[in-house]
Amino acid sequence: MTAEKFDVYSHVTNQIIAQIEAGTPPWRKPWTGSGASVSLPERFNGEAYRGINILMLWATAMVKDYSSARWMTFNQAKQLGGHVRKGEKSATVVKYGTVEREDENGEERQIPYAKAYRVFNADQIEGLPAEFYILPDPPRDLGTVADPALEAFFAASGAQIDVTEEPRA
């Protein structure tokens, strides 16, 4: 029995297609979920992810309703004193780079590669330092008052206006 080789390019393509088909591409907030933040994904050390990894991690964070921007490998979590909760599933990210190889003429060539690895969101990990977790701001009164002229205008328009206490559009 041979192990099937993981195809990074197909994985990335399939994940984006699945999000589009589900009607929730990661670059567009549907405003039907919770008030979770959609901040730029960061590695455990605060370094920002780039390229396709941003879309892939945004998609995972939105589907799973993660609020933390921080992502890390199992071992990185362990080194920080945390542990991944039992049953949690990782997300796949891609490292792109080059490696030097000697060709048949003895010349050094830069060969591009893409390697997949698995990461967990801080929300899936217990025991990390507090700065890895994002706590939502408590609701507060912004002092907004209704404008009678605007209320009359919208009422006359016949538009259905739904109001909720939830912190979302």
Tens-level pLDDT at each residue, the chain (169 residues): 455 666 767 777 777 777 777 665 555 554 444 444 557 899 999 999 998 899 889 888 888 888 889 999 999 999 999 999 999 999 999 988 899 988 888 889 998 988 889 999 999 999 999 888 876 666 667 777 888 998 899 889 988 888 776 655 5
Torsion sign, CA atoms 153, 32, 51, 131: positive
Contact 11, 92 (CB under 8 A): yes
Report d(CA 155, CA 160) in Å as an integer. 9
* Burial group, residue 49, by CB count within 10 angstroms (0-12, 13-18, 19+): buried
Per-residue confidence (pLDDT) for residue 31, from 0 to 100: 46
Per-residue confidence (pLDDT) for residue 45, from 0 to 100: 92
Per-residue confidence (pLDDT) for residue 7, from 0 to 100: 72
Per DSSP, the residues of 63-91 read: HHT----EEE-HHHHHHTT-EEPTT---E
Per-residue confidence (pLDDT) for residue 118, from 0 to 100: 95
Report d(CA 155, CA 150) in Å as an integer. 8
Count of Cβ atoms closer than 10 Å to residue 19 Cβ: 21
Per-residue confidence (pLDDT) for residue 169, from 0 to 100: 56
| Phi, psi for residue 47 in degrees, rounded to 5 | -70, 130
Global pTM value: 0.63
| 104 φψ region: left (φ > 0), alpha (ψ -120 to 50), beta (else) | alpha
